[in-house]
Amino acid sequence: MKTKRTRKTRKGEKGQNLVEFALVIPLLLLLVVGIAEFGRAWMAKNILTGAAREAVRIMAVQTGNVATATARADNILNSAGITTGYNISIPPTTGAFDPVSVTVTYNFPVVLVGFIPGLDCTTIPLSSTTTMRREY
């Protein structure tokens, strides 16, 4: 049966692992926090896209009912936890089969502002625009 040999530590290598870990942990934490913030921003962007899509669908089908479209987008944003800092823009339409656009903008709040170097802003502007052709 083979026995496992371990390398004896030299006199000057005590604490080497601790020093290496101390050098690597800030980079690792920066990477993990950056991934988490990017994931939150991506989720918010998807929510904006869904709200714009629902609002433009109402505008395309219900002959330009702006109040109902805005209420539907508000409902989607509020149910996702986005209650302030957003704007819903619906330009007026003129006739049948014209394109209808809805733009939803949001100032995404960055939670860990001072933790990520180079990110000095407290909000990141996100926007989503959806266009459909009106139906009759």
Q: Which residue has the higher pLDDT, 136 or 52?
A: 52
Mean pLDDT of 113-125: 75
Mean pLDDT of 118-125: 80
Range with lowest mean pLDDT among 49-53, 60-64, 125-129, 130-134: 60-64
d(CA 121, CA 61): 40
Mean pLDDT of 34-60: 94
SS3 (DSSP) at 39 = helix
Which percentage of the chain shows pLDDT scores above 90? 54
Burial 65-89 (b: 16+ CB within 10 A, else e): ebeebbebbbebbeeeebeeebebe
pLDDT tens digits for range 61-110: 886 689 999 999 999 999 999 999 999 999 987 777 889 999 999 999 98
Residue 116 has pLDDT above 70, yes or no: no
Which pLDDT does position 119 carry in this prediction? 67
Which pLDDT does position 10 carry in this prediction? 67
Range with lowest mean pLDDT among 2-16, 71-85, 89-103, 117-131: 2-16
Where do the domains of the chain lie? 16-133
> Do 42 and 127 form a contact (C-beta atoms < 8 A)?
no
- Sheet hosting strand 99-109, strand order edge to edge: 86-89, 99-109, 123-133
> Do 108 and 124 form a contact (C-beta atoms < 8 A)?
yes
By CB atoms closer than 10 A (0-12, 13-18, 19+), residue 133 is exposed
Q: Which residue has the higher pLDDT, 117 or 86?
A: 86
